[in-house]
Amino acid sequence: MTGAVVVEGLHKRYGTVHAVRGLGFTVGYGEIFALLGRNGAGKTTVMEILEGFRARDSGRVDVLGLDPGEKATERTLRERIGLVLQDVAVEPYLTVRETVARNAGYYPAPRDTDEVIGLVGLAGLERKKVRALSGGQKRRLDLALGLIGNPGLLFLDEPTTGFDPNARRSSWQLVRDLRDAGTTVVLTTHHMEEAQELADRVAVVAAGRIVAEGTPATLGGRDTAHVRIRFALPPGTTVDDLPVPAAPGEDGLVTVESAEPTGTLHRLTGWALRRGAALTGLRVDRPSLEDVYLRLTTDDHGTPENRPERSAL
Ligand SMILES: Nc1ncnc2c1ncn2[C@@H]1O[C@H](COP(=O)(O)OP(=O)(O)OP(=O)(O)O)[C@@H](O)[C@H]1O
C-alpha cells in the first residue's frame, strides 16, 4: 500500500508498558489526518516514531517513502518534513525574524522568511524578541518554524492549543490552504471542533490501538446513528399523549430517539398542529463527534480504556 505515511503492525514498549500495540493506518498524499485519543493513549509515541525521534520495537513504518528508523536517510527525511511540536526550544533573545531566518538556513529549499511570518499572522512583530511574545504568538512562531522548510509532510502536535478563537480559525484556514497546495498534514488534537473542521480523516487511538477510523462526519457510524429529537411538551399534555415513544428529561424537554427522523417528525409536528400547539425549543441532533469520541474512549464504567497493558515480566 502506498501513501505519504503507512504504518502497519506497529509496537512500542517502554519497559513493562506496552504503549503501542499493533497499530496501523495510512495517510494519503495531500490529506489532513488527525490522531485523537485520551492522555496516554499512545499518540505522541506514534508521532515521534514517524518523525524519526523514537525507535520502534516492530512493525512497518514508511514516511514519504523513507523508513524513519533508517540512519542513512535521516537527513533527507528531516529536510522533507515539518514539525510543530509542544515546547519547541527557541532562543528567547532572538527576534521573530531572526528565529525564522535561522531555521530557513537548515533546509535546502526554504520558503521566503517574510512570507511565512505573514502566513502565520506575525507580520508587524518581526523585530519582537521571542521572550516578549504571548503564548499564542509563540505558538504561531512554532507553526512558522514548521513551514519554513517548505515540507511535503507537516506534523502538528496540538497546533492551536492556547490560540484565541480568531487565531484558531485563521490557523485552520492556513492548514487547509497548505493541504490544497499539496502538503500532507498529520496532527494530534484534543479539540473535537478542530478535528471536525480540519481533518479529512480521523483515527481514534485507545490503549495503543486504532479503535475507529473515518471521516469526521461518519466516524463511529455518526451518519447512520439515531437522531435525537427534543422539544418542550405543549401545556396540558404528557408524554403519553405523544404519537411516538418519548422520554422526559430533567431540563423540561422530552427526547425522542428515531432511526427515521422524516416520518417521526411528520407524526410529531402533525400531532402538534392538530392541537394548535407548538413544539417549543424543537431540536434535531445526530451524535456529535465528541459524543462518538467519548463513547469510543470510555468504557462502561466511565473510566479510560487507554490504560496501557502491562506485559508479564
Ligand atoms: N519515555 C517514556 N518512558 C516510559 N513510558 C512512556 C514514555 N513516553 C510515554 N510513555 C507511556 O506510554 C504511554 C503512551 O504515552 P504517549 O505520550 O504516547 O500518549 P499520548 O496519547 O501522546 O498522550 P497525551 O495526549 O497526554 O500527549 C503512556 O502510558 C505513557 O506514560
5-14/17-27 β-pairing: antiparallel
For ligand 1, mutation pick of 23, 36, 39 (most atoms within 8 Å of CB): 39
Ligand 1 within 6 A of 19 CB? yes
Q: Give the whole-angstrom CA distance, residue 214 versus residue 5.
A: 16
Quote the pLDDT of residue 299.
66
Nearest atom in ligand 1 to the alpha carbon of residue 86 is: 27
Q: Give the whole-angstrom CA distance, residue 56 versus residue 51.
A: 11
Ligand 1 within 6 A of 303 CB? no
Among candidate residues 84, 194, 83, the one with its CA nearest the CA of residue 139: 84
Per DSSP, helices labelled H in 13-134 are: 43-51, 74-80, 96-104, 113-119
Ligand 1 within 6 A of 224 CB? no
Residue nearest (by alpha carbon) to ligand 1 atom 4: 14
Give the distance (Å) from ligand 1 centre to CA of residue 106. 29
Q: What is the pLDDT along the chain (313 residues), one digit of tens a residue?
A: 589 999 999 999 999 999 999 999 999 999 999 999 999 999 999 999 999 999 999 999 999 999 999 999 999 999 999 998 877 777 889 999 999 999 999 999 999 999 999 998 899 999 999 999 988 888 889 999 999 999 999 999 988 887 889 888 988 998 998 999 899 999 999 999 999 999 999 999 999 999 999 999 999 888 888 899 999 999 999 999 999 999 988 788 999 999 999 999 999 999 999 999 999 999 999 888 998 899 899 864 444 444 444 443 3
Ligand 1 within 6 A of 41 CB? yes
